[in-house]
Amino acid sequence: MKKILALLLTMGLTLSLTACGGGTKDSGNDAKEPAAGGEETGGEETGGEEAGGEEAGKEEAGGGEASSELNIYMWQQYISDDLIANFEKENNCKINLSYMSDNADAITKLTAGGGDEYDLIMTCDAYMESLVAGGYVEKINFDNIPNASNINEAYWTAKEYCVPYLMNYIYIVYDKEKCPVEITCYNDLIKPEMKGQISTIDGARNLFPIALIALGYDPNSTEESEIAEAYEWLVKFNENVVAYGNAEQNLTNGTASVALTYDGNASWAMAEMGENNTLAIADFKEDAVQLGFDLYVIPVGAKHTDLAEKFLNYICDPQVMAGNLEEYPYSCPNEAAVEAASDSYKNDPARNFSYKENVFFQEDVGEALTIYNDYYQKLKVGE
């Protein structure tokens, strides 16, 4: 009896551990959203790493020959399988894709060691400054990437160290028929009649900027008093929120009537509604929206730099990227590719809004990050 109990107890404990690991909730285009944990993806990662390690060993023995293996670490559901297959065929190589479940995963890979297991790692603009300062990323030889000239320079931070891939606006999309308020600014979101209507992305550095803008402050403020005020604003916002995450599903199945989400996810929701689409992008007059980039960097110590550069050049090709956009209709900094894209992409209602220039970027806030995190926890813990 006691032994059985002890066994069950062990089972229980293990369960609690795995439960903490969580998994990716993968539905529609949602894989872009930071989902819980990543035990499954963890498995794949190690698989990829091992394969990469072996292959690297072989090459060193061969010496000087072109790489036949490319290890990429990036978001799941974010690049076309056809693109990968075509590149593999053209270059007679094998691409090992491993997936992250959170932006922080990529940073951990780069900074805590293990970055050299990969040849390309996806991260976002907000981290570039400190990654460069910390010496975690390799300078890229743009002589080998002529197609990079297609990318709009205005959308390019730390130009020597990265190649932008896709970009995301974080804006408000709402159901014109169901939403009780016509939304033209962030302050509309904290009106009492909006109770239980909002579905929003999560994360301190996604939520606080909108509050800071609503209050008229710098979205990347490092002043504690301003962040404290933003916290008060978010408390009211939080009361109106029905759910964090899954915004596009909550819009299409009628749980929420407003969403703060990525344009790619809004595009998915609008496509899902089809003919009866009642979703519209909020017509903002003054408030800026957040724009973020996902970009590729070559980690220090990468073993297949030649192939990595070939790959970067390949995805910057307008035709190739246009095909990729068909499958993943996010905004793209590659203007030639947008030009070459199909009409359905160009006429996507999710990218049809007037204030594309009125944007702000997430910046490194240094030590103030702790203040943000403290208030974020306070917000979510409540009373």
Contact positions vs other proteins (CB under 8 A): 1-2, 4-5, 8-9, 11-13, 15-17, 19-20, 22-23, 25, 27, 34, 36-37, 102-105, 107-108, 111-112, 130, 134, 196, 202-204, 238, 241-245, 249, 253-255, 366-367, 369, 373-374, 377-378, 380-383
Q: How far is the CB of 44 from other proteins (least distance, A)?
A: 16
Closest CB to other proteins among residues 41, 150: 41
Closest CB to other proteins among residues 27, 46: 27
Closest CB to other proteins among residues 35, 162: 35
- Which residue's entry shows tokens 């999710």? 350
Q: How far is the CB of 29 from other proteins (least distance, A)?
A: 16
Q: How far is the CB of 201 from other proteins (least distance, A)?
A: 10
Beta bridge partners, 72, equal 97, 120
Closest CB to other proteins among residues 136, 296: 136
Closest CB to other proteins among residues 46, 253: 253
Closest CB to other proteins among residues 17, 85: 17
Q: How far is the CB of 269 from other proteins (least distance, A)?
A: 14
Q: How far is the CB of 370 from other proteins (least distance, A)?
A: 8
Q: How far is the CB of 347 from other proteins (least distance, A)?
A: 28
